[in-house]
Amino acid sequence: MFVAKTYSMPEKKDNMQITVPHRMSRKSQVQTVVPTNHRWQTDTRAVNDTEEQAIIRSQNFSLHYGSKVGVKNITMDIYPHSVTAIIGPSGCGKSTFLRSINRMNDLIPHVHTEGRLEVVGQNIYDKRTNLVNLRQEVGMVFQRPNPFPKSIFDNAAYGPHLQGIRRKDELQYIVEQSLRAAALWDEVKDDLKKSALALSGGQQQRLCIARALATKPRVLLMDEPCSALDPIATGRIEDLMGQLQSTYTIVIVTHNMQQAARVSERAAFFCLGELIEYDRTSKIFSNPGKKGTEDYVTGRFG
Partner 1 sequence: MNQRTRIQLDHLFTAATGASILLLLLVLIAVLGPMVYRGSGAVFFSGTVEFRKMQRDLFERADQPALDAEIAETEKVRQAVYEMIDGFKKDMDVEGMSSQVRQIYREFGEELRQKDVPAEQYTKLRELTRGIRDKLEAAFQSQDVNEISRTVDEVLQYADDPRLKDTSAAKLFEIARNFLQAAQRTDLAKHHEYAAGLQEVERILFHSDGLPGLLGPRPNEPLPLLVMLRYGATRWDQAQKLLDRFLWVEQWVQTEPGRPLKMQRTPRADLFPESFRPLFTYVEQNAGGMLNPISTVYWQFFKDDNANSHYFGGIGPEILGTMLITVVGMLFVIPLGVISAAYLVECASDGWVIRIIRMGINTLAGVPSIVFGLFGLAFFVLFLFPLLGFEPRPCILAASMTLAVLTLPVMIRASEEAIRAVPQSYKEGSLALGASRFHTFTAVILPAALPGILTGVILSLSRIAGETAPILFTGAVSLGAVPDSIFDPTRTLSYGSYDMAVGDRLAMMVPHNQYGMVVTLVMLILILNGITIVLRWRVFKKLRGQ
Site membership for partner 1, residue 150 (CB under 8 A): yes
Rounded least distance, CB 177 to partner 1, Å: 16
Question: What residues contact 245, with CB distance under 8 A and at least 6 apart?
Answer: 81, 82, 83, 265
Distance (Å, rounded) from C-alpha 227 to C-alpha 145?
10
Rounded least distance, CB 111 to partner 1, Å: 14
Rounded least distance, CB 294 to partner 1, Å: 35
Site membership for partner 1, residue 134 (CB under 8 A): yes
Out of 55, 85, 117, 140, which residue is the one contacting partner 1 (CB under 8 A)?
Answer: 140
Site membership for partner 1, residue 132 (CB under 8 A): yes
Out of 80, 93, 139, 202, which residue is the one contacting partner 1 (CB under 8 A)?
Answer: 139
Site membership for partner 1, residue 218 (CB under 8 A): no
Site membership for partner 1, residue 196 (CB under 8 A): yes
Out of 135, 218, 236, 262, which residue is the one contacting partner 1 (CB under 8 A)?
Answer: 135
Site membership for partner 1, residue 179 (CB under 8 A): no
Out of 215, 243, 245, 293, which residue is the one contacting partner 1 (CB under 8 A)?
Answer: 215
Q: Within a 10 A sphere around the Cβ of 110, how many other Cβ atoms?
A: 9
Minimum CB distance to partner 1 smaller for 210 or for 257: 210
Site membership for partner 1, residue 119 (CB under 8 A): no
Site membership for partner 1, residue 208 (CB under 8 A): yes
Out of 21, 109, 164, 231, which residue is the one contacting partner 1 (CB under 8 A)?
Answer: 109
Rounded least distance, CB 187 to partner 1, Å: 15
Distance (Å, rounded) from C-alpha 161 to C-alpha 158?
5
Rounded least distance, CB 45 to partner 1, Å: 28
Size of the site for partner 1 (CB under 8 A): 32
- Under a CB-based contact definition with an 8 Å cutoff, are residues 302 and 257 in contact? no
**String of contacts with partner 1 for each residue 68-107, x by CB under 8 A:** ----------------------------------x-x--x
Minimum CB distance to partner 1 smaller for 100 or for 281: 100
Write phi, then psi, for 164 (nearest 5 degrees): 100, 10
Question: What residues contact 230, with CB distance under 8 A and at least 6 apart?
Answer: 201, 202
Rounded least distance, CB 109 to partner 1, Å: 7
Q: Which positions lie near partner 1, rule CB under 8 A?
A: 102, 104, 107, 109, 131-136, 139-140, 142, 144, 146-150, 158-159, 162-163, 194-198, 208, 211-212, 215
